[in-house]
Amino acid sequence: MLYKKSIPALIEEAKASGEGTLKRTLSSYNLVALGVGAIIGAGLFSLTGIAAADNAGPAVILSFIVAAVGCGFAGLCYAEFASMIPVAGSAYTYSYATMGEFVAWIIGWDLVLEYALGAATVASSWSQYFSDFMAHLGMEISSSFLHGPWEGGIINLPAIVIVCLLSLLLMRGTEESSLVNNILVVVKIIVVLVFIALGWKFIDPANHTPFIPANPGEDAVKAGELGFFQFFGSPDFGHFGISGILRGAGVVFFAFIGFDAVSTAAQEAKNPQKGMPIGIIGSLIVCTLLYVLFSYVMTGLRNYTLFDGDASPVASAFATTGYTFLNMFLIIAILAGYTSVILVMLLGQSRVFYTMSKDGLLPAFFSDLSKKQTPWKTNLIFMIFVSVFAGFVPVSDLGHMVSIGTLFAFSLVCIGVIILRKTDPHLARPFKTPLVPLVPILGIVVCVTMMASLPIESWERLAIWMALGIIIYFLYGKKHSKARLAHEAK
């Protein structure tokens, strides 16, 4: 359970090419586009409204900044690992090299929450905008086919369809998928800039007042009428005030998970030592700037209380500008944005399971490659898995599960950087995280703080999911581990 993968062996693995390996087709531009493709989507177009209405009000802007700071610390740690160990697998591979097989399994299993359920979350939101698009064309989709049984419907059919179509595209090839993603990224960045530019002059300052809505529980703590831990366990915690900003950060943190998806494609980058840091940090900087401006305009156009229960908050906010003739263009661009997020999440998930299978922790068919050098069987399996969640589970529940899983992964990557600096300080690092151990420690603190601010239900689901993963590890992974078998053969 404590066996580690040799970093020199991983580096040699990264140099391998030809049949049976992933094909290197992605440039630095492709990697930045991959990151932006994953980042700008549901978090911006859907969760902004949810976090503003339920948690932070107009101060959702600060929630984005807090989340971005945590991502920035973690992003620097990811960039060091991705440039040093340019193989598929992301946090799973980094953990295997620094903390051993069991921790690697835990993080690999956890990444299913991030990528697979992330894709399902976005697909659920995608269907709502697709319904709006069809309504503009005069074709109504029954509510029964837009919501799962827990939301009063039968099945979220459009969500299932988009997951299946994108999975089939990934099976066709990474190069083709990257081209489609690049086109989608250009479209959605244009619409974000249009929204900011046109909406700015229609901002009503009254909608930003109060900027941080009051929280009665926090007022009681300040007055000495309520203890902090009593407040922490009360229904008021996380609903406006400072605690609302922190919980809002935990919710919208989902919006930033794209930059680490870049690291899953390290083995398909043409020049990973240079391209991975550019892709990870570059996409994070671009998207943070757009998020802050976008959320400022959105909460300025419409009072945050009106976003409660609104399935299409961006369209509702933009409608206040009077530019109704652009509504159809806005919806098309949002659909493009969501589509690229789903595409990158599905790609990331398949690469993680591909690597785990190569290590023997999962059955061999997960690492079977097609003639196009893509793990098509993994894509097929997750097409079915993600479709089930997208079609039947409420989007808010999925979003919280994705956030807590991602924060957990980020924390372990930050720990991994500290460990490797101690155990192998002379290892060649094309990109070095600055101010170690301060930056990784700050990353851990911010991530754990946001995890603590999430609802208790998220922790319960994480515990159940991890328990299931541990059972699978002992029943299959531990017995078939190539690292264990190689060690015992010596």
Query: What pLDDT does residue 254 have?
Result: 67
Model pTM score? 0.75
Query: What pLDDT does residue 164 have?
Result: 94
3-state helix, strand, coil in the chain (%, to 5): 75, 0, 25
CA 182/CA 191 separation, integer angstroms: 15
CA 55/CA 68 separation, integer angstroms: 17
In a domain, 4, yes or no: no
Cβ(359)–Cβ(483) below 8 Å: yes
Cβ(12)–Cβ(87) below 8 Å: no
Determine the straight-line distance between the first and last CA of the chain, rounded to whole angstroms.
Answer: 17
pLDDT in tens, the chain (490 residues): 667 777 777 777 666 655 556 666 777 778 777 777 777 765 677 778 888 988 889 999 999 998 888 888 888 888 888 778 777 667 788 888 888 888 889 888 888 777 888 888 888 888 888 988 888 888 888 888 888 887 788 899 999 999 999 999 888 877 777 788 788 888 888 888 888 998 898 999 999 999 999 888 877 878 777 777 777 777 778 788 888 898 888 778 767 766 677 777 766 777 777 777 888 888 888 888 998 999 999 999 999 989 887 767 877 888 888 887 677 777 887 888 888 888 888 888 888 888 888 888 888 888 888 777 788 888 899 899 899 888 887 766 666 677 787 788 888 889 989 988 998 888 888 889 998 899 999 999 988 887 887 778 888 888 888 899 999 999 998 888 888 887 777 6
Crossing angle, helix 327-358 and helix 101-136, to 10 degrees? 160
Q: What is the CATH number of the domain that holds 312?
A: 1.20.1740.10
Crossing angle, helix 438-453 and helix 395-423, to 10 degrees? 160
In a domain, 236, yes or no: yes
Query: What pLDDT does residue 22 have?
Result: 64
What letter would DSSP give residue 85?
S
Chain position carrying tokens 């999925």: 398
Structural domain span for residue 130: 23-489
Cβ(56)–Cβ(245) below 8 Å: yes
In a domain, 343, yes or no: yes
> In the chain, how many domains are there?
1
Query: What pLDDT does residue 274 have?
Result: 75
CA 104/CA 284 separation, integer angstroms: 25
Query: What pLDDT does residue 470 have?
Result: 93
Listed in sequence order, the residues at least 6 apart from 370 whose beta carbon sits closer than 8 Å to its beta carbon are 171, 376
Map residue 269 onto helix, strand or coil: strand
CA 244/CA 120 separation, integer angstroms: 26
Query: What pLDDT does residue 440 have?
Result: 93
In a domain, 1, yes or no: no
In a domain, 217, yes or no: yes
Query: What pLDDT does residue 128 have?
Result: 83
CA 455/CA 325 separation, integer angstroms: 40
Residue ranges in 137-173 assigned as alpha helix (H): 157-172
Chain position carrying tokens 């994108």: 166
In a domain, 14, yes or no: no
In a domain, 199, yes or no: yes
Chain position carrying tokens 């992301």: 90
In a domain, 9, yes or no: no
